[in-house]
Amino acid sequence: MLKTLGRYIGEFKRPAVLTPLCMVGEVFFEMLIPLLMASIIDQGVEKGDMGAIVSIGIRMLVMALGGLACGVLGGRLAAKASAGFARNLREGMFNHIQEFSFSNIDKYSTSSLVTRLTTDVTNLQQAFQMILRMFVRAPLSLITAMFLSFVISPRLASIYLTAVLLLGCFVAFIMRKAMKTFMEIFPKYDELNASIDENVTGIRVVKAFVREDYETEKEKKASGNIYRLFTHAESIVVTNMPVMQATVYTCILLISWIGAKMIVSSGQTALTTGELMSLLTYCMNILGSLMMLSMSFVMITLSQAAGRRICEVLDEKSDLTSPADPVTEIPDGSIEFRDVAFTYTKGSGQPVLRDINLSIRSGETIGIIGGTGSAKTSLVNLISRLYDVDSGAVLVGGRDVREYDLETLRNKVAVVLQKNVLFSGTILENLRWGDENATLEECREACRLACADEFIEKMPDGYDTYIEQGGTNVSGGQRQRLCIARALLKKPKIIIFDDSTSAVDTATDARIRRALAEEIPDTTKLIIAQRISSVMHADRVIVMEDGQVDGFDTPENLMRNNDIYREVYESQTGGNADFDEGGDN
């Protein structure tokens, strides 16, 4: 874990190294001040030597300024190093997630990834800053103060040693109890983020069904779990403070009592007044350092869970990569499935697809129909290699898709997904996701083919109209047509429509299909649809049933030979068809 996280310190190694050096300097100056304080009392105050007081006082001032300078510089460097580390970590995680295949992404929920990128990274940032400063300063200060105390008076210093050992055992005990609770908190953050994300994303549904109270209770329960766990953990940790203070005051009383007796009984030969003052100062240093060390252990232990969750993402290897010597040219849009079997979780469960054998010629228009759960989407996902087959092979342009460079393959196999997604920005910016260098004329042509130009030109700002996140300020049908236009800008060899005209009326659907057939005849078109009208004019139709191909032929032959196709056709043309000839959904 440390090796993985250490790579992300990157260009901030220099401040990360200089911070502990500053802490060493701060401790050095801080530890000299009590010794000088003893000298100013013994050599100046008690002897009435004003020159010694001024001379030693100036040295004390220099030491204080030196410690202040080291502390301020160390704080600035630690802040720079920890903030830079957090930035690199978030950037690295985000970039790594972009490389995930669908199967990798399926392992994590959206809320979990958001928590890891935000809360977990923040915890690591705080722990890293504490390691650079307190985890260096506290033990060094404790050891130095203990050593100097033994140099001054081994008898009195043994009181500190006993207190440190007892407090160390107590701190270890409460930390062990508290950490069990702290470790339970992170999954609760995932639950809270999931509740909020689900509510905000589906706010229209929540309001439509008047379920605000139900969603409020869900969020209240999720945040209440975090409150309960934090309260329990902190109630254990806070016992550290009163015990620490009681120990400090006990040590001060014992040292004052025993030290005063030593001074009086020996006539300041065994111990001087100045040395007693130094020991009292070192008492505060030792026990204060122990308190800082205990808090550092809490933060570092707490960050271990965050570090493990972050490393899970960083160590996740995409199971879809380009080969060592990839093919970078796709000759045509022909598609072939050879004895294909596929499961989403390899090695477990019933195959989603099995015994798939298909051959599609370049330029054909292929319809795909079937009931819900018949694996239509799973079938087309294999063409653009969003998933890899378990057995068999999928060929595009006569080559196995695993032989192609992934970027080349996906640039030439455009997919209009079932769930249409638009991003915040103008219509033109969204269209240029298909081709970032596309001209305005090329975007207009793609919109004309997708029948999107008719509503874009009616908007006050036209192609500069701003689209809200998720496309919430346009209708479902408009969103689908914009996504089709975006895919057409890729100028693909194969274009897949995954039920992507379900929200447009049948008249517009027909115009889109006619425009695609006339304008891009050499592009292979696969159309997944629920409406029979969307596929009945295709060259051939694939009928899916329970993960297998039940029929693959022309619409006319399927009407005669395939029960499923005939049943769908009759159910949709026998009085229940979609006759929405105008308007836009």
What mean pLDDT value characterizes the chain? 85
Among 156-170, 390-404, 530-544, 552-566, the minimum mean pLDDT is found in 156-170
Question: For residues 41 and 277, is the Cβ–Cβ distance under 8 A?
Answer: yes
Residue 7 burial class via C-beta count within 10 angstroms: exposed 0-12, middle 13-18, buried 19 and up: exposed
For residue 90, what are its two tokens? Answer: 């978030």
| The 399-400 sheet, strands edge to edge | 353-360, 335-342, 391-396, 399-400
CA 412 to chain centre: 30
Mean pLDDT value of segment 40-65: 84
Residue with tokens 């929200």: 503
More confident call, 495 vs 39: 495
Mean pLDDT value of segment 21-31: 91
Mean pLDDT value of segment 23-46: 85
pLDDT at 584 over 50: no
For residue 127, what are its two tokens? Answer: 């722990």
User: For residue 574, what pLDDT band results from cuts at 50, 70 and 90?
Assistant: low
User: For residue 576, what pLDDT band results from cuts at 50, 70 and 90?
Assistant: very low
pLDDT at 197 over 80: no
Looking at residue 347, its pLDDT comes to 63
**CB neighbours of residue 508 within 10 Å:** 24
For residue 178, what are its two tokens? Answer: 């508290």
Give the integer Cα–Cα distance in Å for 564 and 24.
Answer: 79
Looking at residue 80, its pLDDT comes to 94
User: For residue 367, what pLDDT band results from cuts at 50, 70 and 90?
Assistant: very high
User: For residue 581, what pLDDT band results from cuts at 50, 70 and 90?
Assistant: very low
User: For residue 447, what pLDDT band results from cuts at 50, 70 and 90?
Assistant: very high
Residue with tokens 């290699």: 385
For residue 123, what are its two tokens? Answer: 């915890």
- Longest CA–CA separation in the chain, Å: 120
**CB neighbours of residue 48 within 10 Å:** 8
Mean pLDDT value of segment 414-425: 83
User: For residue 348, what pLDDT band results from cuts at 50, 70 and 90?
Assistant: low
Question: For residues 289 and 141, is the Cβ–Cβ distance under 8 A?
Answer: yes
Looking at residue 62, its pLDDT comes to 92
Domains in the chain (CATH in brackets) are: 2-183+239-315 (1.20.1560.10), 335-573 (3.40.50.300)
